[in-house]
Amino acid sequence: MCGIIAYIGKDRVKDVLLDGLEALEYRGYDSAGLYIAGAGPIKAVGPVANLRKKAALMPDGNLGIAHTRWATHGKPSEANAHPHTGRGSIWAVHNGIIENHSELRQKLMGEGRVFASETDSEVVPHLIERAMERGASFEDAVFETVRVLKGAFGLAIAHRDAPDRMVAVRMGSPLVIGVARGGRIIASDAAPVIRHTRDVVYLKDGDVAIVSADSHRIFSFLKEAVSREGETVPFGAEEAKRGGYEHFMLKEIMEGPEVLRNAIRGRIAKDGWRVKLGGLESNDERLRSIERVVIAGCGTSYYAGVVGKYLIESLADIPVEADIASELRYREPILTPKTLLIALSQSGETADTLEAVREAKRKGAFTLGIVNVVGSSIARETDAGIYNHAGPEVSVASTKAFISQTAVLALVALFLGSQRNLGASRRKEVLEELSALPEKMERILANRGLVERIAKRYAESGSMLYIGRKYMMPLAYEGALKLKEVSYIHAEGYGAGELKHGPLALVSESFPVFALAPRDSVYEKTLSNMEEVRARGADVIALVTEGDAEASRIAKETIEIPETIECLYPALAAVPLQLFAYYAAVARGLNVDRPRNLAKSVTVE
Ligand code: G6P
């Protein structure tokens, strides 16, 4: 995820910026750049060390803005790295996504402005410069500009001819101001700030801050003064990288609501029932001819693929197979030009998934990548793509990537459905519910103390069984995978209907069962399965819809999630499963973020 550091003050700006960029490296990035007023910009692809080398030749100054970029719009390159400018007077660094960038860009180009990058961000300095050329002051031009931007943006902006101040803007993308002795810092999180000061002011959405070396004033987008309390950062540098959480895994689980917002941002048309996915729209004809879908992935991505199968079959009415990529590539699969192969991968580098893509291409299938890492191998080699925009995932166990994948797959299912028989009202219903998920997920996360207590209680179990039906079956697999990965407790996931065909023989008093039983179309059946295992003496931990007294009577422990429509329960149900595995691992004193024997990205067979 992109990082921002900007500084104005007495210290050596170059050092503050470069050290700050290094402190932001943990967020993941592909290129970096900085602008120092009076000294100009420098940019470099790759590690901050590359930028540092270039900076050695550059004069210093007393105001500068800098950025680590994680590509979203446009490949990693110097031209796409920030800071961006229009005609050289305004320089800006940006985190987030500007949804209406293409219409703004068209308009600005129509007026003769020349764009140097493929980014959504570049519209910002152009708009500010245009307003200034029309007579506005620097600050007023910023106010004017932020009011026309749609989407999420954290901005730090410098004006070549105003070296006494810079401007910070926050809308949906965090920013903090550090109040140091010799100057002020603007940053995307506290990590690069705390080496200078622990006194900070967190901006809120809709804030514009005008920052000089010894003061800052905060306004609304309508230029009304607002006041924000200062705070003291209570944690150290390492913890700051984890957003103040003990582990990346918990930080990443807590990012779920934001991840959902990023997955759907700009992808729902104003009418509320059309899905806008550039990668699919540009292949409209080809996708209409598809008669079968095959989804390939590994690990957690494969389980998201099974959710995708259910989604696409129910919403788009196309037969779908979800396949483990390592099986698909070797089992002589039937893939034809009328097959759509969807490759699901957080990293975009998983060897088996990449090979499945190559096999599909050899056989003439149309390939679509749903990938988180921009510019990764799968993103490059597939015929069309959709990015998750989930930001880097550091912890080995996939958490936020899974949540994002289920949301993107719902969008894909709706898109394919719209090409076939799926009515507008059903599409609207799903999209409205999808938009309501982030807030519902926040409620689950606020209740994580309960999951922690239950996980601690079962942390010494020798084995656990996870059961669920329909959309909850892949979630049962995923819950069990999460538990074994991070807590090393043996766990199995099963379709609850399969209980009598084997796993029931395992169930006893010392064999807790995690039952996934939200109020969906198979709820009653799952309830019967819960009764069956309870009758054999097992403790049942049930994941249920809020207010479900019936399931609570059977279960020993109940974790509630808010109500949603059946096909969207996977995103919500994933969160308590992730938290349960996390807290069980913590209770066992394990290295949660780096489980033994596992790698984040499996680039070899
Ligand atoms: C590894 C990771 C898993 C991940 C899987 C697939 O096993 O530990 O968390 O789900 O690879 O990775 P991908 O990057 O293709 O989603």
Residue 291 has a pLDDT of: 97
Q: Are 75 and 125 in contact (CB under 8 A)?
A: no
Q: Which of 107, 204, 361, 600 is catalytic?
A: 600
Residues of the chain with CATH 3.60.20.10: 3-241
Choice from 248, 253, 301, 396 to test ligand 1 binding pocket (greatest atom count within 8 A of CB): 301
Of 29, 53, 33, nearest to 44 (Cα)? 33
Q: How far, in Å, is the centroid of ligand 1 from the Cα of 482?
A: 11
* Pocket lining: 72 vs ligand 1, CB cutoff 6 Å: no
For tokens 């961000």, name the residue.
Answer: 121
Residue 600 a catalytic site member: yes
* Pocket lining: 388 vs ligand 1, CB cutoff 6 Å: no
Handedness of CA 138, 81, 283, 402 (dihedral sign): negative
Distance separating alpha carbons of residues 440 and 572, to the nearest angstrom: 8
Residue type present at position 187: A
* Pocket lining: 353 vs ligand 1, CB cutoff 6 Å: yes
Q: Which atom of ligand 1 is nearest to the CA of 485?
A: 8
Distance separating alpha carbons of residues 370 and 385, to the nearest angstrom: 6
For the structural domain made of 3-241, what CATH number should be given?
A: 3.60.20.10
Residues of the chain with CATH 3.40.50.10490: 251-444, 447-587
Residue 2 a catalytic site member: yes
Q: Which atom of ligand 1 is nearest to the CA of 378?
A: 15
Token representation of residue 385: 């793509």
Residue 486 has a pLDDT of: 97
What is the number of other CB atoms lying within 10 angstroms of the CB of residue 251? 20
Residue 116 has a pLDDT of: 96
Residues of the chain predicted below pLDDT 70: 1, 605
* Pocket lining: 249 vs ligand 1, CB cutoff 6 Å: no
Query: Distances in Å between the alpha carbon of 324 and those of 12, 250, 450?
Result: 53, 27, 34
Kind plus residue range of the DSSP H or E element containing 191: none
What's domain 447-587's superfamily in CATH?
A: Glucose-6-phosphate isomerase like protein; domain 1 (3.40.50.10490)
All residues at 6 or more sequence positions from 591 whose CB lies less than 8 Å from its CB, including other chains: none
Task: Annotate 214-227 with b (16+ C-beta within 10 A) or e (fewer).
Answer: eebebbebeeeeee
503 secondary structure, DSSP code: G
Q: Are strands 216-220 and 540-545 parallel, antiparallel or unpaired?
A: unpaired
Q: How far, in Å, is the centroid of ligand 1 from the Cα of 323?
A: 14
Task: Indicate the burial class of 549 (C-beta count within 10 angstroms; 0-12, 13-18, 19 or more).
Answer: exposed
- Reported as a single tens digit per residue, the pLDDT across 136-186 is 999 999 999 999 999 989 999 999 999 999 999 999 888 999 999 999 999
All residues at 6 or more sequence positions from 589 whose CB lies less than 8 Å from its CB, including other chains: none
Of 276, 269, 303, 286, nearest to 412 (Cα)? 276
Q: How far, in Å, is the centroid of ligand 1 from the Cα of 368?
A: 18
* Pocket lining: 304 vs ligand 1, CB cutoff 6 Å: no
528 secondary structure, DSSP code: H
Backbone region of residue 149 per phi and psi (left: phi > 0; alpha: psi in -120 to 50; beta: other values): beta
CA dihedral 184, 186, 189, 191 (to 10 degrees): -50
Q: Which atom of ligand 1 is nearest to the CA of 297?
A: 15
For tokens 């500084």, name the residue.
Answer: 7
Q: Which atom of ligand 1 is nearest to the CA of 353?
A: 15
Task: Indicate the burial class of 286 (C-beta count within 10 angstroms; 0-12, 13-18, 19 or more).
Answer: middle
Q: How far, in Å, is the centroid of ligand 1 from the Cα of 346?
A: 7
Q: Which atom of ligand 1 is nearest to the CA of 373?
A: 14
CATH top-level class for 251-444?
Answer: alpha beta
* Pocket lining: 350 vs ligand 1, CB cutoff 6 Å: yes
* Pocket lining: 345 vs ligand 1, CB cutoff 6 Å: yes
* Pocket lining: 21 vs ligand 1, CB cutoff 6 Å: no
> Would you say how long the chain is, in residues?
605
Choice from 249, 252, 295, 298 to test ligand 1 binding pocket (greatest atom count within 8 A of CB): 298
- Reported as a single tens digit per residue, the pLDDT across 116-127 is 999 999 999 999
Q: How far, in Å, is the centroid of ligand 1 from the Cα of 398?
A: 7
By alpha-carbon position, which residue is closest to atom 2 of ligand 1? Answer: 600
* Pocket lining: 481 vs ligand 1, CB cutoff 6 Å: no
Q: How far, in Å, is the centroid of ligand 1 from the Cα of 6?
A: 35
Q: How far, in Å, is the centroid of ligand 1 from the Cα of 401?
A: 9
* Pocket lining: 598 vs ligand 1, CB cutoff 6 Å: yes
Q: Which atom of ligand 1 is nearest to the CA of 599?
A: 8
All residues at 6 or more sequence positions from 583 whose CB lies less than 8 Å from its CB, including other chains: 451, 452, 455, 456, 459
* Pocket lining: 300 vs ligand 1, CB cutoff 6 Å: yes
Distance separating alpha carbons of residues 79 and 420, to the nearest angstrom: 41
* Pocket lining: 484 vs ligand 1, CB cutoff 6 Å: no
Backbone region of residue 488 per phi and psi (left: phi > 0; alpha: psi in -120 to 50; beta: other values): left
Q: How far, in Å, is the centroid of ligand 1 from the Cα of 299?
A: 5
Cis, peptide link before residue 438, omega less than 30° from 0: no
163 secondary structure, DSSP code: T
Q: Which of 2, 298, 309, 470 is catalytic?
A: 2
Q: How far, in Å, is the centroid of ligand 1 from the Cα of 590?
A: 20
